[in-house]
Amino acid sequence: MKKSDYPSERSYNMSRIRGKNSKPEETVRNYLYHHGFRYRKNYSSLPGSPDVYLPKYKTAIFVNGCFWHVHDCGKFVMPKANQEFWQTKFNRNVTRDEKNIEELTSMGIKVIVIWECGLESEVKEETLKELVELIVDEDNSMKLRESVLSCHWD
């Protein structure tokens, strides 16, 4: 569809948002590939179709957008228009994320969530190095099966 076919500019902008192969996902995948990791992308055989799955390490990685997955950082702002719709939408997203993470951990898969804000230029290198450390960490006494990487806005 052409831009002029949309009823509003907002509708056009929302239609441009991709669910797969976003820039943050590509950043993570490129970094992992260049550091020798081999993975499956959008692996539909697992709950939640993780953005990246590393079979060798039994690790699922989700690259979440701060807006769509309601991250408590400076990038998430609740839309002022049609708040009931958005609140319901965000609640469903968060509930689905929690359910998928729970199912994956019960299968013995390590889950890492990387937030979009953690891939901004100021913190990207630190976030990606920490990601590699979390992937290769084979310490079975690791209590935390879910790791979250994001910005440090304090």
CA distance 110 to 135: 8
CA quadruple 63, 64, 66, 72: dihedral sign: negative
Average pLDDT per 10 consecutive residues for the chain, totaling 154 residues:
60 60 88 95 92 95 85 80 88 92 93 88 89 81 48 48
How high is the pLDDT of residue 141? 37
Sheet with strand 40-41: strands edge to edge: 40-41, 52-54, 59-64, 110-115, 146-149
How high is the pLDDT of residue 23? 84
100, two tokens: 């998928």
